[in-house]
Structure 1
Amino acid sequence: MTSPLPEIKPNVFQKKVQALLRMMARRVFALLWGCVLAGLVGFLLALPAQAAGASNEAPLRFGILPLGGAFESRNDWEPLLADLSRAIGRPVSVLSVNSYEALEKAIEHDQVDMAFLSGKMALDAVTQRRMNVVAQVTRHDGLPGYRALLLARKTGPRSTLKDLLAEPERWRLARGESRSVSGFIVPQLQLFLPNHIAMETRFASEVVGTHQATALAVANGEADVATNNTADFERFSLQFPAEAERLQVIWESELIPHAQIVVRREYSPEFQKKVQAFLVEYARSKGPRGDAERAVLKSLHDLAGFVPADNSSLLPAAKLAYQLARQSAMSAQWINEAARQARLQRIENGYAEQTAALRSNAP
């Protein structure tokens, strides 16, 4: 005879069922939550790939004139270039170098798509390296340009322009590179060559470097006279007040047009217009955003902003280069007068072609 099943009290049975249901509920919840987490993780991991797909173009490579240290220049420009990147929907990388020559070589080898250049370098970029001017910088003083300077110590045996011009052989020179408008071209053209002094050969010694380096060389007694310019000397005075206090300006040039922003001609006219619009509108708005952008520009050599420009804005730079070439040809030694005249004619023809191309805005 089969034994009867043990009697189970209802409350005990209910408890076991409830426990079983709670266990099943926890497993179902864990399964569902795992699916949710997996989906969320997958979504988050996909975001970088989607962002990369949205900006899969190569970075726009921006070259900067060495107007101080390369690291300092990079730091000054990065906030503006980050804003440019957001405006054009494309990453922007920075090429900050220690010399004009290094930047020129980078442009020559197609390693720069857009650049901040002045005078001769901007002129060469447009006439020889397939680039176009899209904007020109402005400063808070409202002047259409800046001036080249000569700096000397306030005290000592070599401290006046008269002494410099009388005996350049006794002075140690600190100057900019030969491509620098205010550091070489303008002082050579407007002061030294008219006084029959060639900067490269008449001084006791020379140091070649940035405007910051040349000013420091004179302030620290390593040179007697330095080329510089009004904008960079103002900046130098803020960064090195003790050294600036030792210096004085003994000569200044006529106004030199401000620097330009150039873009490679391979980029579409629409893209160049977009870049130009960003620059021209930058720091023009009111409110916190405009204030932040104006602070960025102030750190960039006290810039006030940008104005639209085209290749014709380089006509003054072309004239300076022409005048320097002509002055150099006139003062050089030639085997005969016919050779001199032939050189002068080539200079005239080249200048005529260059100015015509700049005026047509399609060199």
Structure 2
Amino acid sequence: MLAGMNDAAKRRVRGWLAAWLVCALATLPAGAASPGEVDPQAPLTFGILPIGGPAESLEAWRPMLDDLHKTLDRPIRAVSVTTYEGIAQAISEQRVDIAFLSGRLALDAVTRENMQVIGQLTRGDGSRGYYAVLVVASDSRLRTLDQLFAHPGKWRFARGEALSVSGYLVPETQLFAARGVDSDTFFANVHVDNHQNNALAVANGEADVATNNTADMERFKQHFPEQFARLRILWKSSLIPHAVIVIRNDLPSSLRAQVAAFITGYGKGKDGAREAANLKLIHDISGFAPAGNADLVPFADIEYALEQRRATSAQWVSDGAREARFRKIRHDHDGLVAHLRGK
């Protein structure tokens, strides 16, 4: 650009460039991070799997997240959405740094979205998990599972989203697949919604049977005691491990360690009584135990069982093709479990 100019003109251009650079630097925010670094003052976004409604979830988590803000000395932005797919999409678009997730969502976050498990929910009763259930009206003609399965195409069914562990995956694998049934085709109609709305649908006579879980049923009892009294559990699953907290691996290791220490120590320190009261707002929990990716193996097993069921019910051009599919499912599952266990 300076070629062909005399010395005086070159000095003027260099002066203008220097002045422009000073002005440009002055417009940068104080403490701004260099390219490739994490701005220490940038907000961290905490994604919340909704329990009840999104607004209710945000309100329940806010006191704890305010304490995280004070501990880290940086803003914490909370986001809660109405669906499992909504939180999964936010994670895939890297709009979430830390998240409270069910095991199935956490499995995707760890294997596809470069996140890691740092803590697992604990409850005051010492339980290591919760149970998926099928609920019917207390006065329903359905008294046994045999009565349910004896009449395909008769009952109205309400279930959770496909990513919901207790709302779909566990009932589908432990109950329906065991009887050679696909719930999406067995019932007269299928309505997909959250646990609260599905329980209300049964209580109000809009559905005959619905999926839910024991933890959400406790919360439902608190908020809708009259409707809860009109429900009865028809089936209960085996134990499902509690939800977990995950964090992005590309955050600085020191920051990840700070967050993990805060999460697993919350409610256990010198300010434990106040913090325990904050935790109780979040689905009546007692805290978070240290956890890692290996704690997601039970959810990998659930996905494995579901893939096997799908392969069993599919149409195949030959026995060889069928067996090849089963080998691929087993190979992928073994690789996933090894990955989760760090092998």
Both proteins in one fold, TM over 0.5 = yes
Question: What is the distance in 1 between the residues matched to 2:259 and 2:152?
Answer: 46
- What is the alpha-carbon distance in structure 1 between the residues aligned to residue 226 and residue 30 of structure 2? 53
Q: Does residue 173 of structure 1 match 2:157?
A: yes
**Alignment correspondent of 1:326:** 308
Counterpart selection for 1:90 from 65, 74, 80 = 74
Seen in structure 2, the aligned counterparts of structure 1 residues 52 and 215 have a Cα distance that, compared at 3 Å, is farther
User: What TM-score results when the alignment is normalised by the length of structure 2?
Assistant: 0.86
Residue 249 (structure 1) aligns with: 233
Give the conservation status (yes or no) of the 8 Å contact 2:133–2:166: yes
Q: Give how far 1:302 is off.
A: 1.2
Q: Indicate whether 1:231 and 2:232 are aligned.
A: no
How well do the aligned residues superpose, as a CA RMSD in angstroms?
A: 1.9
> Cα offset for 1:333?
2.3
Report what 1:99 is aligned to. Answer: 83
Letter in 2 for 1:358: L
Which residue is equivalent to 2:273? 291
- The answer on whether the counterparts of 1:133 and 1:263 sit within 8 Å (CA) in structure 2 is yes
SS at match of 2:185: coil
Q: 1:69 to 1:168 in 2, by over 3 A?
A: farther
Partner residue in 2 for 1:316: 298
> In the alignment, which residue of structure 2 is the partner of 1:272?
256
Flag structure 1 segments of 5+ consecutive residues without an equivalent: 1-48
Aligned AA (1:77): W
Among 53, 58, 80, the alignment partner of 2:42 is 58
What residue identity is the alignment partner of 1:190?
A: Q
Which secondary structure state, in structure 2, belongs to the residue aligned with residue 141 of structure 1?
A: coil
User: Does residue 108 of structure 1 match 2:75?
Assistant: no
**Deviation of residue 157 (structure 1)?**
3.0
Show the 5 A alignment for 1:73-152. 73-152=57-136
Determine helix, strand or coil for the equivalent of 1:124: helix
Look up the equivalent residue of 1:357 and give its one-letter code. Answer: H
Which of structures 1 and 2 has the bigger CA Rg?
Answer: 1
Provide Cα deviations, 1:63-99, integer angstroms capped at 9, x if missing partner: 1112211111111111111111111111111110000
Per-residue deviation, residues 164-186 of structure 1 (Å, max 9, x unmatched):
12114211111000000000000
For 1:56 and 1:357, the matched residues in 2 are separated by 31
Distance 1:222 1:51, change over 3 A: farther
AA aligned to 2:106 is A
Query: 1:144-200: per-residue Cα shift (whole Å, max 9, x none)?
Result: 111101100011334542221211421111100000000000000000111111111
Q: Select 1:210's aligned residue among 164, 169, 194.
A: 194
2:166 and 2:211 in contact (8 A); partners too: yes
Equivalent residue letter for 2:187: F
Runs of 4+ in structure 1 displaced over 6 angstroms?
A: 49-53
Query: Shift in Å at residue 50 of structure 1?
Result: 8.9
Deviations, residues 197-240 of structure 1 (Å, cap 9, x unaligned) = 11111111111111111111111111111100111100100110
Q: Separation in 2 of the partners of 1:327 and 1:249?
A: 25
> What is the rounded CA distance, in whole Å, between the counterparts of 1:266 and 1:308 in structure 2?
20
Q: 1:360 to 1:141 in 2, by over 3 A?
A: same
Secondary structure of 1:201's counterpart equals helix
| Counterpart residue identity of residue 101, structure 1 | E
Cα separation, 1, equivalents of 2:155 and 2:50:
26
Normalising by structure 1, we get a TM-score of 0.82
Tell me the amino acid that sits aligned with residue 72 of structure 2: I
Amino acid at match of 1:360: G
Distance in 2, Cα, partners of 1:131 & 1:112: 10
CA contact (8 A) 2:31 2:41 kept: no
Aligned length: 310
* 1:342 aligned residue: 324
Which residue, 280, 298, 307 being the options, matches 2:289? 307
CA distance in 1, matches of 2:254, 2:47: 21
Counterpart of 1:319, as a letter, is D
Letter in 1 for 2:322: R
Distance 1:120 1:201 in 2: 23
Distance 1:168 1:250 in 2: 17
Name the structure 2 match of 1:15: none
Give the secondary-structure state (helix, strand or coil) at the position aligned to 2:170.
Answer: helix
Higher helix share: 1
